[in-house]
Structure 1
Amino acid sequence: MSQQADTYGPTTGQGRKLALVVVGLAAVVVAILCAFALPSVHSGPHDLPTGVTGEQQSFAAVSKALQGDEWDVSAYDSEDDLKTAIQDRDAIGGIVLAPGQVTAYTATAGGPQAAATLTSAATAMAKQQQADLTVTDLKPFPDDDPAGAGFSSAALPIIFGGMFPAVLLARLFPGHSGLRLRLAGGVAFALVAGFAVTAFLQYATGSLNGNYLITSLGMSLGIAALVMALLGLESLIGMAGFGLGAAVIMLLGNPLSGFASGPHWLPDGLSTLGQILPPGAAGSLLRANSYFDGTGAAGPALVLATWVLFGIALMLIADRRGTNKSLHLASQR
């Protein structure tokens, strides 16, 4: 009977397995949709730290115009203090109100959407008050890439530059015997790729304009965080560990990174999660090193270093486990 069932149709067990596979794949598709759609649906200005200076009534006027969850308005004593706060990344921009004049200061390199939103708000104020408007971008993207397209495109090289080497090294140097080669290969690749990608973005496309050495080291740290974490998971758990890590990076790290928009364009919880994952931290570190002379680099650098140490720790545990297993087998002979 079993041979006849195999010949003419699936068994009950096979049908149940097929149903589970179909439902599971559908669930995966929905999860992928949620991971990419929800951040897009809920993206927008969230508590944008914005400065204002001028007379007392000026602060009241700006606060009234910038109401809601989109803005977090702070007063500064002078226009110079406001510009310093923007350059120090304490504010994404600011507005100076004077009789017959509205001046908006932005930092496009810190987040183009935020800069555009603030410019629109300042334009509406100037129109309402029938005043002249001046917009000054204190931290623009480089002249060769004013839209920041090259910076935004760096997200995928960092992500895939962490995933592809990890799986390739795991295949070429498998098992306990190849673990140290995988570790050395991951570190070497991160350094070479970091300097190469930075060189392309800075000298070929003109998208970056920071110190090349520091920016390259930051890029290498971002790639290393991904490579080492994935290699560590693969060494300890196998390809299932690599798959888990890759899924987290692609389904959470990528859409929540705020790479192109800056973290203020996501809700607080999602933004915080994105910044503690390697893609988001790598983007913030690259932004800080390339456009803000390293201001704000300490936090994302610490996050990335933690991921590197996490991956190395997993590899050391796997190495110890493999050594103990080898000694146990040797003692039994």
Structure 2
Amino acid sequence: MPDSTSPTTTTGAGRKLAALVLGLAALVTVMLCAFALPSVNSGPHDIPVGVTGPAQFTRALEAKLDGDEWDVRVYEDADAVEAAVHDRDITGGLALTPEGVDVYTGTAGGSGTAGAVTALGDGVAAQQGTEAAVHDLVPFPEDDPRGSGLTAAAMPILFGGLLPVIALSSLFPGRDQLRTRLLGVLLYALAAGAAITAFLQFGTGSLDGDYWLTSLGLALGVTGLSGTMLGLHALFGMPGFGLGGAVLMFLGNPLSGLPSGPYWLPSGWAELGQLLPPGATGSLLRANAYFDGAGATTPVLVLAAWVLLALSLVALAGRRGAERAATPTPATASVEEAVA
């Protein structure tokens, strides 16, 4: 039996196969960069640290720490350093006193950066021939002193933002039910925020803050993530959903800074991570759960922008679907002409 496959068909299939292979290879490379580079280059990067004491001490410390690791800020006294830690203006600070060196940290803001500030204080104290007294101003709760629950929440929040889109799109398909899917995302975000916060705060004791404020912050993050994925799926189908999921999962998750804090990631990577929903959600969760909302403004604005993007994508998908429905197909037009 002769082969009916034409050269044109074979060429087209070859191009598609080549494009698929190259695209997957590029995706794997991006995944490797996103996971490996931040880990290999992790460490203190532009950590804001406060110092106070005699002018000679602060000037010497500024000169010593003039590099990429630290962002030194001078304060009038130890009380000002403590207030700056609570306000999340700095991650920690050093105060030289007649008794020695006081080290102020906020472990809940990032255990890696708190450890780096502590090590810095120990080194300065050794040079002064004295000892360092460490004051953890914002520790993790006693039930979870290492913040394990917070770290473990990263993947559930991410997958919890992706899976509902598939479920809603399967149960309520089509353009006519797009608003139903959007409503489902909003309701799910509220329920997920309340459930995740309840488990972490009352189940594992990993969070310590106003329950409703924390749950609403998580709901905002889930809305930005799930809503964007819903809009991409409605507008571009599974390719849009797959591309968006790859970006959020393979870039957003490792760059979120949730386990260590953003200052432990390389410069550039850290800023990118905080502009993606997982990173902004993690920062907002820290702010609400441990710092009474201090530092919440920027992640709220970032997540609000993602929510607006999601609404825009959904509106565009609905408009495009309405235009397609209003445009007669060639077969329909022929029938109408015949009837006329």
TM-score (norm 2): 0.90
- Aligned partners of 1:35, 1:2: CA distance in 2, in Å? 50
Partner of 2:270: 271
Q: Superposition pairs for residues 241-260 of structure 1, below 5 Å? A: 241-260=240-259
Partner of 1:170: 169
Query: Which residue type is aligned with residue 304 of structure 2?
Result: A
Compared with structure 1, are the counterparts of its residues 235 and 53 closer, same or farther at alpha carbon in structure 2 (3 Å cutoff)? same
Deviation at 1:4, TM superposition (A): 11
RMSD: 2.4
Moved more, 142-151 or 53-62: 53-62
1:145-194 per-residue CA deviation (whole Å, 9 max, x = no partner) reads 01011111111111111111112212222220221111111111111011
Q: Superposition pairs for residues 144-293 of structure 1, below 5 Å? A: 144-293=143-292
Aligned residue pairs, count: 329
Answer yes or no: is the 8 Å Cα contact 2:122–2:131 preserved in 1. Answer: no
Deviation at 1:60, TM superposition (A): 2.7
Answer yes or no: is the 8 Å Cα contact 1:100–1:129 preserved in 2. Answer: no
Compared with structure 1, are the counterparts of its residues 39 and 237 closer, same or farther at alpha carbon in structure 2 (3 Å cutoff)? same
1:244-276 per-residue CA deviation (whole Å, 9 max, x = no partner) reads 110110121111111111111123321111111
- Aligned partners of 1:170, 1:116: CA distance in 2, in Å? 45
Deviation at 1:97, TM superposition (A): 0.9
Q: Which runs of 5+ in 1 are unaligned?
A: 6-10
Partner of 1:8: none
TM-score (norm 1): 0.92
Deviation at 1:19, TM superposition (A): 6.3
Moved more, 73-82 or 21-30: 21-30
Compared with structure 1, are the counterparts of its residues 4 and 165 closer, same or farther at alpha carbon in structure 2 (3 Å cutoff)? closer
Query: Which residue type is aligned with residue 63 of structure 1?
Result: E
Report the secondary structure of 2:142's partner residue.
coil
Partner of 2:136: 137
1:89 and 2:88 aligned: yes
Report the secondary structure of 1:268's partner residue.
coil
Query: Which residue type is aligned with residue 39 of structure 1?
Result: P
Answer yes or no: is the 8 Å Cα contact 1:94–1:104 preserved in 2. Answer: yes
1:44-103 per-residue CA deviation (whole Å, 9 max, x = no partner) reads 111111111111122134324434210111111111111111111111100011235011
- Aligned partners of 1:196, 1:314: CA distance in 2, in Å? 27
Moved more, 141-150 or 168-177: 168-177
Answer yes or no: is the 8 Å Cα contact 1:100–1:130 preserved in 2. Answer: no
Deviation at 1:129, TM superposition (A): 2.0
Deviation at 1:217, TM superposition (A): 0.3
Compared with structure 1, are the counterparts of its residues 91 and 17 closer, same or farther at alpha carbon in structure 2 (3 Å cutoff)? closer
1:203-227 per-residue CA deviation (whole Å, 9 max, x = no partner) reads 0000001100000000111111111
Q: Which runs of 5+ in 2 are unaligned?
A: none
Q: Superposition pairs for residues 43-62 of structure 1, below 5 Å? A: 43-62=42-61
- Aligned partners of 1:3, 1:196: CA distance in 2, in Å? 59
Deviation at 1:18, TM superposition (A): 5.9
Compared with structure 1, are the counterparts of its residues 107 and 184 closer, same or farther at alpha carbon in structure 2 (3 Å cutoff)? same
- Aligned partners of 2:177, 2:238: CA distance in 1, in Å? 15
- Aligned partners of 2:184, 2:15: CA distance in 1, in Å? 44
Deviation at 1:13, TM superposition (A): 8.1
Query: Which residue type is aligned with residue 47 of structure 2?
Result: L
Answer yes or no: is the 8 Å Cα contact 1:141–1:147 preserved in 2. Answer: yes
1:317 and 2:291 aligned: no
